[in-house]
Structure formats: structure tokens, C-alpha cells
């Protein structure tokens, strides 16, 4: 049956659902459409859901810190119950090692101070009090296992780390997406799953709606691309790529799921670890396990793929990042059965998302988000709803970029930072760190 809405949101992952929720709260009659069977079944389900603040730009740090206040008060933010229960934010803290690769964190700490984000300076003794199994010798640059010198120290002990006491992670990212679905529905939003969009229709230079594979035509004057790893294909369908200086692509990633080092309760006593020396990151996981991923150092090839046709089997990348993490944690079990996740990131040219309008009136994008934007989803939803409402009311965002207020930290950010027309931001880490 054909239908009409005020806004169609393409995607029902965590960011798409937050966009739909915030638009519905503003009075838009919304429909989230997803080709998968339920909310959060795509790249959201494979997210490590880490809530951290160390980004490579000031606005990136500010946006991330704003979000932690929402995750801490998740039930109040949603305002409704979910029959499946609510996802939980676990305030585990985050330790970032000071390395040459991150300028020993001096620029980052300056950004933290400018925003008012708490941090602690940890020396080697304090690190070992927290994580007594750590080997703090230098191993940089990060290497592949078949490279000469793999696993051999390259220098004396690292000087220390910066610890962020307010950081943590969300225990169930897929459940979080379902929570937002229920909140959006309570605000009047609707959802349609197992639905594939085959056409984005236009009339007189403006988006007019979408057509589904079964022939259903759904009309709306606003369509928002939040399709995750499929965002590039959706933009091609809408014909908006030529107006974008920044593009997105799907990047295959692997995350290992392994037991904690023996004799240590990492689930309850550990923290999130960011280690640019070995090119890995880790976070606690239920059952006294760790999730271990790559920080995308230069030695790790970037596996750009077709999101509709990629290998979901583990490769040697799984072993490489696990053994690099074991350089820092020598007692880490690395011979257990291979467990973990193979998923996709939706990555922009500079690893900074695109939250913007497009050259097609009424067609908006919240893309390039996978890998480092789960934490920002609730704020990104608010940001996009504000941007859409202002643009639909006639504001020329391209000529006069909107300023968005972050109420929890009392700061404004320039939404031009996330423009599709920006130059590549050379301050970016060009990695999952953003």
C-alpha cells in the first residue's frame, strides 16, 4: 500500500533510529526503512559501543563528551520502557597510552582542558597498579606477524598514559537501537523492516519519496540517508555524489573476542585500552572477556568492499591484532577458539562523519559514521533534526553553516565541520579514532 510521511529515514541502526526519534519529537510523521529484519541488525550490532572522548578535532571531542550525559541517563532520554529491557552504560574508564604516534597526548589534553573533560595523568606505576599484567615496553611501529622484528621491543618503557574516568561502553548496541525504536514509536514514528529501496524519486529538483522492491511507493518531502555501509550506494541512487567533496566507502573490519589474562577480572576491574604503540584497542566484555580491534596502523591493509558481497570469515588480520595486543598483555590467551565479529564500517575520506544536506533539496545525509560514532548517535539525532528543520524553513546551511548547541556541556559547535563540501580534515587521525 502506498503511503505518505513527512520524513523517511533510510536505516534503522543506532544513528538512523536516533534521527527518526528526534524528528518524531519535533512533530514529523516519520518512517524508518531498513532492508534487515530488525533494528540494529547491521553494523550497529558489530559495534564495540565504546563511549570515549579522545578525537582528533575539538568539535569531535565536544560532540562525544555531550553524548556521555545522555548514555548515563538513558531511561530518561528515551522516556519509555522497552519490553526487552534497556541497554546499560558501564562506566569502565578509558586509558590511552602516551606514544610518539599520538604526540604523547599533549594536543589531546589541551583539547580536553578547553572543553572541560576530566582526565588523569598516569605514570608507569599507576598503570601497573590498574593492570599488573601489562608490558610497557615500546613495540612501535606496529607490524604484521611476518615482518622482521615482530614482537621484539624497540625501545624502553612507555612514559605513561592519560586516563578518562567518565568513559565507558554500552553493553548491548543492538538492544540500544531497539530501545530507540520503541521511543520513536511512542513519539509517533513508524518502522518498516525487510524492505529494500530500489529508487529515490524526485520531482522538480526535490526529493519526492522512495520506491521499494515490491513496487510500493512511499512519498515524503524529506528523505535522510542513514544507511551505514550502504550510504554510498544510496547516494548514487539519489544522484547526489557530484555535489560532495567527501565520499564514503564500506570497510571490512574484524574484532577478536578472547578471555581475560588469567588471574585478572577484566570485566569488572579492567578498562578500555587505546594503544597506538601496538596499533590495537580493547574493551571489557561480559564473561570476563575482552574485545580487541585494530587502530588501523599503516601496516594493516584497508579492505574496502562491496557491502552486498564481502567475506564474513576471519582472516589473518584477526591473528595479527590479537598477537599485537599480546605484546602489551603477554598472558593474554591467544589459542582459544576463534571468536569475534566481522563487520563493516561506513568510512568517509577523512574518517569524520558527514551530517549535512545535499544538492538535492529535501535529501539529507548522516553517513560516514561507523567505527567511531556509536557514542554520538543520540546527539547526532538531535543535530540532524535541528539541521533538517532549519533547512526546511529556508536556512541556507551551505552559505551560512548552522551552529549547534550542546546543552550538557554548554558549548556550540560549527556544523560546517561535518559538511559534505569540506576539504579533507588533515587534523584527523585517518583511523577508527576519528
0.85 surpassed by pTM: yes
Q: What is the pLDDT of residue 141?
A: 96
Contact present, 346 and 15 (Cβ < 8 Å): no
Q: What class does CATH assign to 3-85+172-247+350-418?
A: alpha beta
Q: What is the pLDDT of residue 324?
A: 97
pLDDT digits (tens, 9 = 90+) for 180-209: 999 999 999 999 999 999 999 999 999 999
Distance CA 353, CA 366 (A): 7
Going by the DSSP 8-state scheme, the letter that residue 149 receives in this structure is: T
**Quick one: pLDDT at residue 356?**
98
Fold observed for domain 92-167+250-347: D-Amino Acid Oxidase; Chain A, domain 2 (3.30.9)
> Residue 371's pLDDT is what?
83
Cis amide bond preceding 141, omega within 30? yes
The predicted pLDDT at position 283 comes to 97
- In the chain, what are the domain boundaries? 3-85+172-247+350-418, 92-167+250-347
pLDDT of the residue at 48: 95
Flag residues of the chain having pLDDT under 70: 1-2
Q: Is the fold of 3-85+172-247+350-418 the same as that of 92-167+250-347? A: no
Q: What is the pLDDT at residue 267?
A: 96
Model pLDDT, residue 148: 94
Residue 214: its pLDDT value, please?
A: 96
137 strand-pairing partners: 157
d(CA 91, CA 73): 12
pLDDT score recorded for residue 431: 87
Q: Which long-range contacts (CB under 8 A, 24 or more apart) does 124-130 make?
A: 124/157, 124/158, 124/159, 124/160, 126/160, 127/95, 127/160, 127/161, 130/95, 130/269, 130/271
pLDDT at 434: 83
Amino acid at each position: 500500500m502506498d503511503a505518505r510521511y513527512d520524513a523517511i529515514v533510510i536505516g534503522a541502526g543506532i544513528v538512523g533510529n536516533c534521527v527518526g526519534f528526534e524528528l518524531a519529537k519535533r512533530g514529523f510523521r516519520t518512517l524508518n526503512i531498513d532492508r534487515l529484519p530488525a533494528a540494529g541488525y547491521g553494523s550497529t550490532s558489530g559495534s564495540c559501543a565504546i563511549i570515549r572522548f579522545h578525537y582528533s578535532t575539538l568539535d569531535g571531542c565536544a560532540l562525544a563528551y555531550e553524548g556521555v550525559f545522555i548514555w548515563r541517563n538513558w531511561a530518561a532520554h528515551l522516556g519509555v520502557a522497552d519490553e526487552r529491557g534497556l541497554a546499560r552504560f558501564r562506566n569502565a574508564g578509558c586509558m590511552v597510552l602516551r606514544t610518539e604516534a599520538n604526540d604523547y597526548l599533549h594536543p589531546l589534553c589541551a583539547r580536553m582542558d578547553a572543553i572541560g573533560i576530566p582526565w588523569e595523568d598516569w605514570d608507569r606505576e599507576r598503570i601497573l597498579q590498574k593492570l599488573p599484567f601489562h608490558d610497557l615496553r615500546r613495540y612501535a611501529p606496529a607490524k604484521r606477524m611476518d615482518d622482521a622484528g615482530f614482537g621484539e621491543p624497540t625501545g624502553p618503557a612507555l612514559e605513561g598514559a592519560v586516563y578518562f574516568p567518565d568513559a565507558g561502553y554500552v553493553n548491548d548496541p543492538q538492544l540500544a537501537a531497539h530501545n530507540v525504536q520503541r521511543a520513536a514509536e511512542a513519539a509517533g514514528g513508524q518502522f518498516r523492516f525487510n524492505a529494500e529501496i530500489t529508487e529515490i524519486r524526485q520531482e522538480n529538483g526535490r526529493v519526492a519519496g522512495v520506491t521499494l522492491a515490491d513496487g510500493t511507493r512511499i512519498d515524503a518531502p524529506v528523505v535522510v540517508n542513514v544507511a551505514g555501509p550502504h550510504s554510498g550506494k544510496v547516494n548514487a541512487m539519489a544522484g547526489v555524489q557530484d555535489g560532495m567533496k567527501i565520499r564514503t566507502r564500506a570497510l571490512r573490519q574484524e574484532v577478536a573476542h578472547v578471555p581475560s589474562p588469567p588471574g585478572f577480572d577484566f570485566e569488572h576491574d579492567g578498562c578500555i585500552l587505546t594503544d597506538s604503540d601496538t596499533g590495537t584497542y580493547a574493551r571489557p566484555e561480559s564473561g570476563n572477556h575482552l574485545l580487541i580491534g585494530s587502530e588501523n596502523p599503516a601496516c594493516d591493509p584497508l579492505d574496502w568492499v562491496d557491502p552486498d558481497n564481502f567475506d564474513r570469515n576471519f582472516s589473518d588480520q584477526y591473528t595479527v591484532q590479537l598477537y599485537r595486543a599480546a605484546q602489551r598483555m603477554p598472558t593474554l590467551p591467544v589459542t582459544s577458539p576463534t571468536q569475534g565479529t566481522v563487520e563493516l564500517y561506513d568510512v568517509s575520506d577523512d574518517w569524520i562523519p558527514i551530517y549535512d544536506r545535499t544538492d538535492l533539496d529535501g535529501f539529507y545525509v548522516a553517513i560516514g559514521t561507523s567505527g567511531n560514532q556509536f557514542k554520538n548517535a543520540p546527539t547526532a539525532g538531535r543535530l540532524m533534526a535541528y539541521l533538517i528543520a532549519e533547512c526546511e524553513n529556508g536556512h541556507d546551511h551551505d552559505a551560512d553553516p548552522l551552529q549547534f548547541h550542546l546543552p550538557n556541556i554548554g558549548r556550540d559547535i560549527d556544523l560546517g565541520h561535518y559538511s559534505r563540501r569540506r576539504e579533507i580534515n588533515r587534523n584527523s587521525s585517518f583511523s577508527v579514532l576519528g
